[in-house]
Amino acid sequence: MENSRHSDVLVIGGGPAGSTAACLLAEKGWSVRLLEKARHPRFHIGESLLPKNLPILQRLGVLNAVQRIGMKKNAAEFNSTETPLNRDTFYFARAIDDRHPFAYQVRRSEFDEILFGNCIDKGVAALQGVSVVDVNLDQHGHKSVRALSDTGEALQFTCRYVIDASGRDTFLANKLKAKEKNSRHQMAAIYGHFQGVRRRGGEDAGNISIYWFEHGWIWLIPLQDGVMSVGAVCWPAYLKTRSTALPVFLQQTLQLLPELARRMQSAELLGDVHATGNYSYASSTMLGEGYLLVGDAYAFVDPVFSSGVYLAMQGAADGAELVDKLLLGTEHGGRLIRAYQRKVKRGIAEISWFIYRFNTPVLHRLLMSSDDAQQNKWQGKMKAAVISILSGDVYGNPKVSAPLFLFKMLYYLLSLKNLGETLRFLRFKARAWR
Ligand SMILES: Cc1cc2nc3c(=O)[nH]c(=O)nc-3n(C[C@H](O)[C@H](O)[C@H](O)COP(=O)(O)OP(=O)(O)OC[C@H]3O[C@@H](n4cnc5c(N)ncnc54)[C@H](O)[C@@H]3O)c2cc1C
């Protein structure tokens, strides 16, 4: 391994965000170095993609490869035991922009390996098993980056621009002391892979199933090889009641819903059960002189609408465009930076509106309010707007905005009308976060 190297751009982290930014910048002719601390294929959570992710995969030139490892996901299915309608399936084909009627469920070890390999094919100088340990951001012109290989070799790099795509490690946000816990959302997750979980039939076989339950919500994500990714996202107070090993606790939690228990009847756990606590945060800094934070390295809210990978890749793709212009020395740098920041924040805010309210009784009922056959015209439009958000149409499509606004107004009106219930929920949430 060479001990000193210079590149135009150095990307920290070879997950979806890092590989996207690295690939697109290399395609534009910049010299790009990508450093990944793990070695692909490696386990990662975040297996359910959104339809709007597909154009990015196409642009990167990996859509066919992802299709080969992916399970087609036509819809997101919601399940509740507290509403007259117990199950509703939100088909992406009914989104307002219906050009992308499906997405894929992917094993992240395979997906991330495809993206990383694609970077190498595009000319990125990519290294695995190399952790970035320090970055000197103070230098004007060239930044210096210190790294350590998993064989113990100390490495030194220089570059003009650093992109931090280190995911939940939030490398630069930590260094800059810019990481802030999300005060509006505090949940924790336990999850694992199972075989023998009953799937839906036909075209619905690849859909994600989401179940509300008293302690949060549960996901079932069918993967292509027959394995089911199963996870419970819970209030922290519930997780603190755990007195058994994680696998037993997860199995006990899944037994709390009779329909789920039936689907899990012949299920067998494969490998470890993982836990991620307190996962919602954002960095107060998105970029500065010669550096940019993308994907989870900047912010993460919640997995309920499967938006993490899409927001990370879209932010990285837009970030690559921005870095390209900044490296070229555009005179419109300030304007481009402001537009980029607005877009990233808008996408996160649009999804967060739903995430923050997902467990409220009013949104729960609204999402499960009527099946398609019973809907009037406006209910149909509002549902199409919600499906658009679930597809990843989160950057201000004017056709989505009006019905989405109506949906939100309806939510606020119903919350006021049921003020007692709303206040009871807020008090419950305050206790459940402890
Ligand atoms: C419980 C849970 C469930 C989720 N489910 C979904 C889902 O169904 N769908 C979805 O879209 N999203 C989901 N997500 C979110 C998703 O996992 C992330 O949003 C997504 O992986 C972000 O991609 P990224 O490239 O920013 O970060 P990552 O995928 O985390 O990649 C970061 C990479 O950087 C590397 N790295 C870290 N530090 C260093 C360093 N110092 N030097 C070199 N390399 C480094 C890491 O090894 C890693 O490979 C979920 C998240 C959680 C917590």
Alpha-carbon distance of 119 to 22, in angstroms, equals 7
Q: Which helix (H) or strand (E) holds 237?
A: helix 236-239
pLDDT at 376: 81
pLDDT in tens, 200-218: 999 999 999 999 999 999 9
Residue 174 shares a structural domain with residue 114: yes
Tell whether ligand 1 has an atom less than 6 A from the beta carbon of residue 222: no
Q: Which tokens sit at 39?
A: 């070695």
Residue 338 in this model has a pLDDT that exceeds 70: yes
pLDDT at 373: 64
Residue 224 shares a structural domain with residue 323: no
CATH code assigned at 269: 3.30.9.100
Residue 14 alpha carbon to ligand 1 centre in Å: 10
What residue's CA is closest to ligand 1, atom 39?
Answer: 166
pLDDT at 432: 84
Q: Domain total for the chain?
A: 3
Residues spanned by the domain of 84? 71-104+359-432
Residue 222 shares a structural domain with residue 259: yes
Residue 146 shares a structural domain with residue 157: yes
Neighbours of 342 (CB within 10 A): 12
pLDDT at 377: 82
pLDDT at 3: 43
Residue 122 shares a structural domain with residue 55: yes
Residue 141 shares a structural domain with residue 160: yes
What residue's CA is closest to ligand 1, atom 31?
Answer: 15
Atom number of ligand 1 nearest to Cα 279 = 53
Mean pLDDT of the chain: 95
CATH code assigned at 132: 3.50.50.60
pLDDT at 369: 86
Residue 168 alpha carbon to ligand 1 centre in Å: 6
pLDDT in tens, 217-234: 999 999 999 999 999 999
pLDDT at 355: 95
What residue's CA is closest to ligand 1, atom 1?
Answer: 189
* Ligand 1 mutation pick, 12, 35, 40, 45, max ligand atoms within 8 A of CB: 45
Tell whether ligand 1 has an atom less than 6 A from the beta carbon of residue 16: yes
Residue 133 in this model has a pLDDT that exceeds 50: yes
Atom number of ligand 1 nearest to Cα 191 = 1
Residue 2 in this model has a pLDDT that exceeds 60: no
Residue 18 alpha carbon to ligand 1 centre in Å: 10
Question: Quick one: three-class SS letters along 155-188?
Answer: EEEEEEEEEECCHHHCHHHHHCCCEEECCCCCCE
pLDDT in tens, 184-196: 888 999 999 999 9
- The alpha carbon of residue 254 and the mean position of all alpha carbons in its chain are separated, in whole angstroms, by 23
* Ligand 1 mutation pick, 20, 169, 209, max ligand atoms within 8 A of CB: 169
Tell whether ligand 1 has an atom less than 6 A from the beta carbon of residue 46: yes
Residue 326 in this model has a pLDDT that exceeds 50: yes
Tell whether ligand 1 has an atom less than 6 A from the beta carbon of residue 165: yes
The mean pLDDT of 79-104, rounded to a whole number, is 95
pLDDT at 51: 98
Residue 92 shares a structural domain with residue 10: no
pLDDT in tens, 269-321: 999 999 998 789 999 999 999 999 999 999 999 999 999 999 999 999 999 99
Residue 343 shares a structural domain with residue 363: no
Last residue of a domain, one of 321, 351, 381: 351
Between 277 and 262, where is the model more confident?
Answer: 262
pLDDT in tens, 19-71: 999 999 999 999 999 999 999 999 999 999 999 999 999 999 999 999 999 99
Percent of the chain with pLDDT over 90: 90
Tell whether ligand 1 has an atom less than 6 A from the beta carbon of residue 303: yes
Alpha-carbon distance of 359 to 229, in angstroms, equals 22
Residue type, 6: H
Q: Is 186 helix (H, G, I), strand (E, B) or coil?
A: coil
Last residue of a domain, one of 211, 244, 276: 276
Residue 409 shares a structural domain with residue 289: no
pLDDT at 372: 66
pLDDT in tens, 349-399: 999 999 999 999 999 999 998 766 677 888 899 999 999 999 999 999 999
Are 47 and 324 a contacting pair, CB within 8 Å? Answer: no
pLDDT range class, residue 400, cuts 50, 70, 90:
very high
Residue 177 shares a structural domain with residue 267: no
Last residue of a domain, one of 296, 323, 351: 351
Residue 412 alpha carbon to ligand 1 centre in Å: 33
Residue 361 alpha carbon to ligand 1 centre in Å: 30
- The alpha carbon of residue 120 and the mean position of all alpha carbons in its chain are separated, in whole angstroms, by 24
Residue 152 shares a structural domain with residue 301: yes
Residue 63 shares a structural domain with residue 77: no
Buried b / exposed e along 128-164 (16+ C-beta atoms within 10 A)? bbbbbeebeeeeeeebbbebbbeeeeebebbbbbbbb
Q: Which tokens sit at 90?
A: 């939100």
